[in-house]
């Protein structure tokens, strides 16, 4: 069947149209996305401002029209951290529903981690053994681990790259500011790291999300043009060498780096600090980059619930 997955993230609104059926990898058919930067449309009270709500409703209407045009049988709309954490979340969703007829589901942080883990497990397979997965979004960091298809530990922390970018407001971070933010990130991750570490050693460590893909590309990974089957990884040693350089670069300079878009350049330094902290605290020298993430997890769970197609 043809599905439309509408992902309202903290950075971007993304409609992914896929052809999917049980026992097969979802096949992307069309992609429509737009920078929304909802994590940066929160006012001092933690509410999504009127302009952010208008942008979200307009994009949702666009995505609905595209999904219908592309022949989607079903639309799976969901929102993550920016809407989840907004003080006026119910109002935001009500406005979108009233203007578009689309009822967006807000995923709890643990479900976000669980579904991302499902996608990564399906991509790498059972030979990965006990798997740990890291996902840096715009508003939150997800960590999940386990030996099975679903994780036995799933965590969501308010350490998204867009959220942290506000703490590094200057174009070039001052050393003291960088040190403070780095300390706060590590303390937040380490607080519950024992839940993962006590469960035993992991056999494979993976990462997914635009932030990790960009960092891997900066550190020498193959470009996206080489296709999703090309192995990619983020080595901790290379990342450590790059972080001091990234911290002294201007936004235009960051935007010129391979794999970095202009609208996410301000998120590269905080994203790099989170990635380094994850690898250091969980003693991972290298993260394999998985091309599947939350959207694919949502698709896979939906297809699993449908069961096998009836013979014609």
Q: Per residue in 246-274, pLDDT tens?
A: 999 999 999 999 999 999 999 999 999 99
Q: Which residue shows structure tokens 């997955």?
A: 5
Question: According to CATH, where is 3.30.420.150 located in the chain?
Answer: 109-295
pLDDT exceeds cutoff 60 at 311? no
The β-bridge partners of 18 are 3, 28
Task: Give the confidence band of 39 by pLDDT, cuts at 50, 70, 90.
Answer: confident
Q: What is the pLDDT of residue 312?
A: 45
Q: What is the Cα 122 distance to its own chain's centre?
A: 17
Decide if pLDDT at 171 tops 70: no
Look at 8-22, 120-134, 158-172, 176-190 and tell me which has the smallest mean pLDDT: 158-172
Mean pLDDT (the chain, rounded): 94
Specify the domain boundaries for CATH 3.30.420.40 within the chain.
2-106
Task: Say yes or no to pLDDT of 306 above 90.
Answer: no
Q: How far is CA 140 from the centre of its chain?
A: 8
pLDDT band at 109 (very low <50, low <70, confident <90, very high): very high
Fold of 109-295: Nucleotidyltransferase; domain 5 (3.30.420)
Residue 213 has pLDDT above 70, yes or no: yes
Average pLDDT of the segment spanning 288-312? 85
Query: What local confidence, expressed as pLDDT, does residue 175 receive?
Result: 85
With tokens 């992991």, the residue in question is: 202
In total, the chain counts a number of residues equal to 312
Give dist(CA 146, CA 62) in Å, integer. 38
Averaged pLDDT, 289-311: 86
Pairing verdict, β 74-79 and 105-106: parallel
pLDDT score for 310: 53
Whether the per-residue pLDDT at 309 is higher than 60: the answer is: no
146-173: average pLDDT: 88
pLDDT at 52 over 50: yes
Kindly tell me if the per-residue pLDDT of 223 is higher than 60.
yes
CA distance from start to end of the chain:
14
Query: What are the tens digits of pLDDT across the range 75-101?
Result: 999 999 999 999 999 999 999 999 999
List the CATH code of the domain at 2-106. 3.30.420.40
Task: Report the percentage of the chain scoring pLDDT > 90.
Answer: 86
The alpha carbon of 70 is separated from its chain's Cα centroid by a whole number of angstroms, namely: 25
Q: What is the pLDDT of residue 41?
A: 80
Q: Report the C-alpha gap between 81 and 235 in whole angstroms.
A: 27
The encoded tokens of residue 312 equal 């014609």
What 3 state SS string does the chain have?
CEEEEEEECCCEEEEEEEECCCCCCCEEEEEEEEECCHHHCECCCCCECHHHHHHHHHHHHHHHHHHHHCCCCEEEEEECHHHHHCCCHHHHHHHHHHHHCCCCEECCHHHHHHHHHHHHHHHHCHHHCCEEEEEECCCCEEEEEECCCCCCEEEEECCCHHHHHHHHCCCCCCHHHHHHHHHHHHHHHHHCHHHHHCCCCCCEEEEECHHHHHHHHHCCCCCHHHCCCCCCEEEHHHHHHHHHHHHCCCHHHHHCCCCCCHHHHHHHHHHHHHHHHHHHHCCCCEEEECCCCHHHHHHHHHHHHHCCCCCC
For 43-68, what is the mean pLDDT? Answer: 95
- Judge contact between 6 and 299, C-beta under 8 A: no
Kindly give, in sequence order, each residue whose CB lies less than 8 Å from that of residue 32, ignoring residues fewer than 6 positions away: 14, 15, 17, 62, 63, 66
Judge contact between 95 and 57, C-beta under 8 A.
Answer: yes
Residue 50 has pLDDT above 80, yes or no: yes
Higher pLDDT, 172 or 130: 130
Nearest-angstrom CA–CA distance, 42 and 78: 19
Per-residue b/e over 37-73, b at no fewer than 16 CB within 10 Å?
A: bbbbbbeeeebbbeebbebbbbbbeebbebbeeeebe
Q: What percent of the chain has pLDDT over 70?
A: 97
Compute the distance between CA of residue 137 and CA of residue 209 in angstroms, rounded to an integer: 7
Examine the pLDDT at 172 and tell me if it is beyond 90: no
Using the predicted structure, report yes or no on whether residue 170 has a pLDDT greater than 70.
no
| pLDDT band at 307; cut points 50, 70, 90 | low
């Amino acid at each position: 069947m043809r599905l439309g997955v509408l992902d309202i993230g903290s950075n971007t609104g993304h409609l992914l149209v896929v052809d999917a059926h049980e026992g097969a990898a979802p096949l992307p058919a069309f992609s429509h996305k737009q920078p929304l930067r909802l994590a940066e449309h929160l006012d001092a009270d933690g509410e999504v401002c009127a302009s952010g709500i208008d942008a979200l409703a307009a994009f949702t209407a666009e995505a609905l029209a595209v999904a219908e045009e592309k022949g989607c049988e079903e639309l799976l709309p969901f929102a993550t951290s920016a809407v989840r954490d907004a003080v006026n979340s119910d109002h935001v969703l009500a406005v979108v529903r009233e203007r578009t007829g689309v009822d967006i589901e807000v995923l709890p942080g643990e479900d976000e981690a669980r579904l991302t883990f499902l996608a990564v497990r399906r991509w790498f397979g059972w030979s990965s053994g006990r798997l740990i997965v890291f996902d840096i979004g715009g508003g939150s960091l997800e960590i999940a681990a386990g030996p099975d298809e679903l994780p036995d530990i799933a965590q969501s922390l308010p350490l998204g790259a867009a959220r942290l970018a506000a703490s590094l407001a200057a174009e070039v971070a001052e050393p003291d500011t960088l040190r403070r933010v780095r300390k706060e990130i590590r303390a937040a991750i380490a607080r519950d790291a024992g839940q993962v570490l006590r469960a035993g050693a992991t056999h494979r460590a993976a990462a997914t999300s635009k932030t990790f893909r960009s960092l891997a590309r900066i550190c020498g990974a193959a470009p996206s043009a080489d296709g999703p089957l090309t192995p990619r990884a983020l080595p901790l040693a290379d990342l450590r060498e790059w972080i001091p350089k990234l911290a002294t670069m201007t936004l235009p300079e960051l935007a010129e780096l391979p794999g970095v878009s202009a609208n996410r350049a301000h998120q590269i330094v905080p994203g790099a600090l989170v990635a380094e902290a994850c690898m250091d605290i969980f003693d991972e020298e290298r993260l394999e980059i998985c091309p599947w993430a939350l959207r694919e997890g949502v698709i896979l769970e939906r297809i699993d619930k449908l069961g096998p197609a009836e013979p014609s």
